[in-house]
């Protein structure tokens, strides 16, 4: 993919070059392991450049006539978006706020969001996903995953549900409390079966084995009814020593959930350590291996497991070596980009630990959903990518994972 030099893009390209060569850069988001010398080598300091001030035209391998547009700026670590039926968008920020974007105008933080624990032991706790109920047009239910304050600088991964009254959330209640602290990312999706699937991350250190503890929700995907209760057919319900809502286990840090539109399977992205990001197809009751089985290495280079594939543990459908800091995901089903149909798009914070390599990746599959090829996109922006969603209009919407974050849109030209 390349940005094209045309009359709109020329000033942008110049601005990008000028930003990348400026002696003093304003900001850079570091990963938690880079802030502690004992966890990893010192980070590369290379601050994030400014986004283009005008739309940028670019090409991809199979859709050539593309345009990137910045829809909203100055979001504080935006995490997720939900599309309201009236055309507005809800955007979560990790600092604990939800904002609405309507007709190009970004609102102040909306009322009704529960108190959120931000920061935490590695600085990554806060407000996470926002998802509308499939019957939102009738019930107006909005779901949030967040870290609920439970102690001094501690937050537990929690699912809340509220009602959208057109300007704010009302009647907000916690409907599932995992009790799992020292966790990070959490995502939601409604499956084809009408159930909620929710990721609960685990601490990333391979020496911490909570993902394999059946009496701990950390490192698990849970399956719930829309009121937060546990369905009668969950695989570990009534099994001694197991938390009842566990659907799958052995996960590290789940950053996306999406439903395959053809098979109905729930797919999940998962960040590895240094290498070993995974895209997994979730099967009830299965174990995905972390920290016993991984393609990744620790941050000093040592392999984490002698064999990355071991009987009794599920293999990933796609793996990344080196890691791209895998984040959000969407299946493209729209008509605006016909050559992208059946492609999966994923976000990435950076590749191989190098700043300014955040990207959107397009993955092409065969008829059996086996990977054929991948294409990195948007790397020229130098931005960390947090999420990607297909909008009701068939366009792609992208969130950058920055302290001065933004909402972008990819559209045809």
Tens digits of pLDDT across the chain (413 residues): 666 644 333 333 333 333 333 334 458 888 888 887 788 999 999 999 999 999 999 999 999 999 999 999 999 999 999 999 999 999 999 999 999 999 999 999 999 999 999 988 888 999 999 999 999 999 999 999 999 999 888 999 999 999 999 999 999 999 999 999 999 999 999 999 999 999 999 999 999 999 999 999 999 999 999 999 999 999 999 999 999 999 999 999 999 999 999 999 999 999 999 999 999 999 999 999 999 999 999 999 999 999 999 999 999 999 999 999 999 999 999 999 999 999 999 999 999 999 999 999 999 999 999 999 999 999 999 999 999 999 999 999 999 999 999 999 999 99
The C-alpha atoms of residue 129 and residue 165 are separated, in whole angstroms, by 19
CA 186 to chain centre: 8
> What would the two tokens of residue 116 be?
């959120």
Of 338, 408, 361, nearest to 89 by C-alpha is 408
Secondary structure (3-state) at 33:
helix
The C-alpha atoms of residue 353 and residue 41 are separated, in whole angstroms, by 10
The C-alpha atoms of residue 23 and residue 34 are separated, in whole angstroms, by 22
For residue 32, what pLDDT is reported? 85
Of 408, 388, 257, nearest to 332 by C-alpha is 388
> CA dist 178 to 1, 13, 53, 95, Å?
42, 47, 43, 20
In this structure, are residues 43 and 30 in contact, taking their beta carbons and an 8 Å threshold? yes
CB atoms within 10 A of CB 37: 9
Of 92, 96, 127, 75, nearest to 405 by C-alpha is 75
The C-alpha atoms of residue 280 and residue 266 are separated, in whole angstroms, by 9
The C-alpha atoms of residue 87 and residue 330 are separated, in whole angstroms, by 19
Of 327, 376, 411, nearest to 70 by C-alpha is 411
Secondary structure (3-state) at 212:
helix
> CA dist 80 to 72, 181, 218, 231, 364, Å?
14, 21, 21, 26, 24
Q: Give the number of C-alpha atoms closer than 13 A to the C-alpha of residue 317, restricted to the C-beta side.
A: 23
DSSP string, 19-65: HHH-SS----PPPGGGG-TTTSSPPP--PPPPPPSS-EEEE-SS--S
DSSP 8-state code for residue 189: E
Count of H-run helices and E-run strands, the chain: 2, 26
Radius of gyration, alpha carbons of the chain: 20
State the residue for tokens 């599920």. 314
The C-alpha atoms of residue 81 and residue 98 are separated, in whole angstroms, by 9
Q: Say what the pTM is.
A: 0.94
For residue 4, what pLDDT is reported? 62
Question: Strand pairing partners for 389?
Answer: 397
For residue 2, what pLDDT is reported? 61
Residue 286: partners with Cβ closer than 8 Å, 6 or more residues away: 248, 249, 314
Of 71, 94, 74, 66, nearest to 83 by C-alpha is 71
> What would the two tokens of residue 36 be?
């502690």
């Amino acid at each position: 993919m390349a940005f094209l030099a045309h009359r709109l893009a020329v000033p942008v390209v110049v601005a990008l070059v000028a930003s990348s060569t400026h002696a003093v850069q304003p900001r850079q988001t570091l990963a938690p392991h880079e802030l502690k010398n004992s966890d990893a080598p010192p980070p590369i300091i290379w601050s994030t450049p400014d986004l283009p001030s005008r739309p940028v035209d670019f090409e991809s391998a199979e859709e050539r006539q593309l345009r990137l547009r910045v829809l909203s700026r100055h979001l504080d670590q935006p995490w997720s978006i939900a599309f309201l039926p009236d055309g507005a968008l809800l955007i979560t920020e990790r600092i604990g706020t939800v904002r609405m974007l309507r007709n190009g105008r970004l609102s102040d933080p909306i009322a009704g969001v529960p108190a959120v624990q931000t920061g935490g032991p590695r600085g990554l706790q806060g407000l996470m996903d926002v998802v509308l109920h499939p019957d939102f047009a009738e019930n107006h239910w909005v779901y949030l995953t967040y870290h609920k304050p439970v102690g001094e600088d501690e937050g537990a991964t929690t699912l809340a549900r509220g009602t959208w009254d057109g300007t704010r959330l009302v009647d907000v209640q916690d409907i599932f409390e995992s009790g799992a602290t020292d966790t990070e990312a959490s995502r939601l999706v409604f499956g084809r079966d009408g159930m909620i699937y929710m990721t609960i991350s685990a601490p990333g250190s391979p020496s911490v084995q909570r993902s394999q503890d059946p009496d701990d929700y950390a490192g698990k995907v849970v399956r719930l009814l829309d009121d937060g209760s546990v369905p009668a057919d969950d695989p570990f319900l009534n099994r001694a020593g197991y938390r009842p809502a566990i659907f799958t286990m052995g996960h590290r840090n789940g950053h996306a959930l999406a439903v395959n539109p053809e098979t109905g399977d729930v797919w999940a992205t998962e960040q590895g350590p240094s290498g070993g990001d995974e895209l997994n197809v979730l099967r009830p009751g299965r174990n995905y291996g972390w920290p016993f089985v991984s393609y990744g290495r620790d941050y000093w280079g040592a392999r984490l497991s002698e064999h990355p594939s071991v009987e009794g543990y599920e293999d990933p459908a796609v793996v990344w070596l080196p890691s791209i800091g895998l984040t959000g995901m969407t299946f493209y089903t729209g008509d605006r980009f016909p050559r992208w149909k059946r492609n999966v798009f994923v976000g990435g914070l950076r590749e191989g630990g190098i700043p300014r390599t955040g990207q959107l990746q397009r993955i092409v599959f065969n008829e059996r959903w086996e990977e054929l090829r991948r294409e990195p996109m948007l790397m020229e922006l130098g931005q960390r990518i947090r999420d990607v969603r297909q909008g009701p209009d068939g366009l792609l919407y992208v969130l950058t994972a920055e302290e001065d974050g933004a909402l972008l849109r990819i559209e045809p030209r």
